[in-house]
Structure 1
Amino acid sequence: MQTLYLGCLTLGVLFAVVSVVIGDLIGSALHGVFDIVSFDFLNPTLLAGGVTVFGGAGMLLNRYSGLEDGVILALSLLIAAFMGVVMHLVVVKPMRNSEMSSGFSMSELPGRIGEVTIPVPGAGYGEIMVKFGASNSLHTAASFEQQALPAGIKVVVVEVREGVALVSEFEERRGVDT
């Protein structure tokens, strides 16, 4: 049994070292072949961590406890499963939730407020800057009402046609007495 535990510990450590050193190369070579398998417990990080913990726990229990081999095997499996759950909750799940994309869809533009960066002529194209999250994006723009829009003014995107944002000047409404 000592050989099984040592083999699992060694395999887990080797997997960790290889994935750190050349993990990106392997991932790009496989082009997401394993993305179809979407079970969280089949995450390579969790599997490698579980195998490593199983081997380490087995080695320690075998060396420092007087327990029988079957009990050590069962305890090692329980410890590995427990640590797998802990790694999932503490490492994998928060990292997955922290992934952020700066991508957006042009269909998200209508209704957004932007600023003219390159003047938009009445019958031509200019450029606007629209804030998406923490980043700004630049878009080709045309006047929705065929009126010239100078640089620096706020505009609202009315619609998007053929990849061009059609904009109108943004007028803030202040308290109006009726």
Structure 2
Amino acid sequence: METLFLSCLIGGILFAIVSVLLGDWLSASLDGALDFLSVEGYSLFRPTVIACWVTVFGGAGLLLNKYTEMGNIIVLILTFLIATAFAVLLYFAYIRPMEQSENSVGFSIQELAGQIGEVIVPIPDNGFGEVMVQMGAARSHHIASSFDGTAIPSEAKVIVVEVDAAEGVLFVSKFDI
């Protein structure tokens, strides 16, 4: 029994070390030869979660086997439950949030309406200037015109009132807090 637990613990630790240190290199050198091992569908069965389960199964099994007087069947059941709890915790506390945290800098110009920006090139009464607007993690510069026909100086805060997507022009008004 101890051999099973020790093998799982060592195997899980080696998997973690190899995947962290050599994961990208192995993937590139094998050119996708191991892609069949990836599990499609449920991401709860990702290799990271499985490796976590195996490692915790080995470690918890060794500890329960050495420091308790429980029988082998009870130790196996408890170890299975502990490893499953840790794997599920890893999935919901780390892996799932990381999957959903994808940042994209893509946006539609129509989404700029209502956003606050800063004037980079002064906007004259009846002309065009330039504003910088931040959308998510991206900052973009756009041609802008005054919505109410008043000049707006450089470094002034503005709010995008209207968007002319066909011309690519933002109509802005000075934003006073």
The TM tier, using the shorter chain, reads 0.5 to 0.7
Equivalence for 2:103: 101
Across the two proteins, how many residue pairs are aligned to each other?
Answer: 168
> What runs of 5+ residues in structure 1 fail to find an aligned partner?
174-178
The letter of the residue matching 2:47 is P
Q: Distance in 2 between matches of 1:130 and 1:22?
A: 41
Q: Distance in 2 between matches of 1:119 and 1:22?
A: 53
Equivalence for 2:2: 2
Question: Does the 8 Å contact 2:132/2:142 carry over to 1?
Answer: no
The share of aligned pairs that are identical, in percent, is: 37
Write the mapping of 1:1-178 to structure 2, written as runs, cut at 5 A.
Answer: 1-25=1-25, 37=40, 39-92=42-95, 99=101, 101=103, 103-106=105-108, 107-120=110-123, 122=126, 126-132=129-135, 137-143=139-145, 149-157=152-160, 158-161=162-165, 164-170=168-174
Q: Distance in 1 between matches of 2:154 and 2:27?
A: 45
TM-score computed with the length of structure 2 as normaliser: 0.67
Shift of 1:41: 2.3
Give the stretch that moved more between structures: 37-46 or 13-22. Answer: 37-46
Question: Does the 8 Å contact 1:123/1:146 carry over to 2?
Answer: no
> What runs of 5+ residues in structure 2 fail to find an aligned partner?
none
Question: Does the 8 Å contact 2:12/2:51 carry over to 1?
Answer: yes
Question: Does the 8 Å contact 1:109/1:160 carry over to 2?
Answer: no
Shift of 1:25: 5.0
Q: Secondary structure of 2:57's match?
A: helix
Q: Distance in 1 between matches of 2:39 and 2:154?
A: 48
Give the stretch that moved more between structures: 44-53 or 101-110. Answer: 101-110
CA RMSD of aligned residues (A): 3.9
Cα distance change on mapping 1:65 and 1:115 into 2, 3 Å: closer
Equivalence for 1:176: none
Cα distance change on mapping 1:156 and 1:87 into 2, 3 Å: closer
Question: Does the 8 Å contact 1:113/1:170 carry over to 2?
Answer: no
